[in-house]
């Protein structure tokens, strides 16, 4: 079975519209798909059905939050989309994103990079504004050459545009997901640039707050990372999830549906659902 439980559409910072994404996933032979846009479930608004002839879609979202000053992402999978808790959460996060974006623009302005707010609003259009839109603005205005440089110099961890303090606490995020009948999963645990000890401590706190699982596979990753995460997942008695973190076609490290099988001994999160 081909499972991809972490993907982005143009409703946040992905390139394909939700319907294009679904079509692509079907062509890639995905059996179980979740569209997990950043802090929004807008991708599901116009979906007629969560089932097609070949694929089941699991309603999902990727929330931004913070644990002890480290920015982290939590996936809410198999959530009830009409849940009050999720809707309230989305509203709070969308306000936080707006304030954050204005602050990023202000901070860039102080560095002499003018008018990014207007520019970013134009680039994002109807999409939820995120740092990739700022990156695009920096590229378009010739400040940097590419996305990597934009994050390295201005937007990545510890840089001017890395503003975290407006997100809801991770405990609230997990509570929204649980109230919506969903499963809270720590996204891409290997991407936080924290020590193994800190990751274990993060997972303890995450579990205490009601978190249920972690991504063991995120896109294309090395075997040693998979083995390390699988071991931690089992030690902590967490459910295991997997996803590409697909944003656009053409990036081999995050190709849609191109997700290695979970290692033996991991309890797949989807086995815990009544599908």
Q: Which residues bind Mn ion (CB under 5 A)?
A: 13, 62, 73, 187, 245
Nearer to ligand AMP, 59 or 132 (CB): 132
Per-residue b or e along 114-132, where b marks 16 or more CB atoms closer than 10 Å to that residue's CB: eebbebbeebbeebbbbbb
How far apart CA 115 and CA 112 sit, in angstroms, is: 10
When CB distances are held under 5 to 8 angstroms depending on the partner's kind, the choice from Mn ion, ligand AMP, none that residue 151 binds is ligand AMP
Q: Nearer Cβ to ligand AMP, position 67 or 151? A: 151
Query: Residue with the closest Cβ to Mn ion?
Result: 73
> How far, rounded to the nearest angstrom, does the alpha carbon of residue 31 sit from its chain's CA centroid?
20
- Identity of the residue, 13 or 24, whose beta carbon is nearer to ligand AMP in the bound complex: 13
CB of 96 to ligand AMP, least distance (A): 11
Interface with ligand AMP (CB under 6 A): 13, 38, 64, 130-132, 147-148, 151, 156, 247
Instruction: Determine the distance from the C-alpha atom of residue 244 to the mean position of all C-alpha atoms in its chain, rounded to a whole number.
Output: 10
CB neighbours of 208 closer than 8 A, spacing ≥ 6? none
Residue (76 or 130) nearer to ligand AMP, CB: 130
Question: In sequence order, which residues have a C-beta less than 8 Å from that of residue 121 and are 6 or more positions away?
Answer: 129
Which option in Mn ion, ligand AMP, none does residue 24 bind, with CB closer than 5 to 8 A by kind? none
């Amino acid at each position: 079975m081909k499972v991809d439980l972490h993907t982005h559409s143009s409703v946040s910072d992905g390139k394909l519209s939700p319907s294009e994404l679904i079509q692509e996933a079907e062509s890639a032979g995905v059996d179980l798909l979740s569209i997990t846009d950043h802090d929004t479930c807008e991708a599901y608004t116009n979906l007629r059905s969560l089932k097609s002839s070949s694929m089941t879609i699991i309603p999902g979202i990727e929330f931004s939050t913070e644990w002890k000053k480290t920015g982290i992402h939590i996936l809410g999978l198999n959530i009830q989309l009409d849940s009050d808790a999720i809707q309230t959460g989305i509203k709070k996060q969308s306000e936080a994103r707006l304030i954050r974006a204005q602050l990023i623009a202000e901070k860039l302005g102080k560095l002499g990079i003018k008018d990014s707010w207007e520019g970013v609003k134009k680039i994002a259009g109807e999409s939820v504004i995120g740092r990739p839109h700022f990156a695009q603005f920096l590229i378009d205005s010739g400040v940097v050459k590419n996305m990597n440089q934009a994050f390295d110099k201005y937007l990545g961890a510890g840089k001017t545009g890395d503003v975290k303090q407006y997100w809801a606490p991770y405990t609230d995020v997990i509570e929204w997901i649980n109230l919506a009948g969903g499963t809270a999963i720590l996204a891409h645990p290997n991407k936080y640039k924290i020590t193994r000890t800190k990751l274990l401590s993060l997972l303890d706190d995450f579990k205490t707050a009601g978190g249920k699982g972690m991504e063991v596979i995120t896109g294309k990753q090395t075997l040693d990372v998979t083995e390390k995460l699988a071991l931690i997942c089992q030690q902590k008695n967490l459910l295991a999830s997997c996803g590409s973190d697909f944003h656009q076609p053409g990036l081999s490290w995050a190709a849609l549906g191109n997700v290695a099988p979970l290692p033996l001994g991991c309890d797949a999160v989807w086995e815990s659902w009544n599908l």
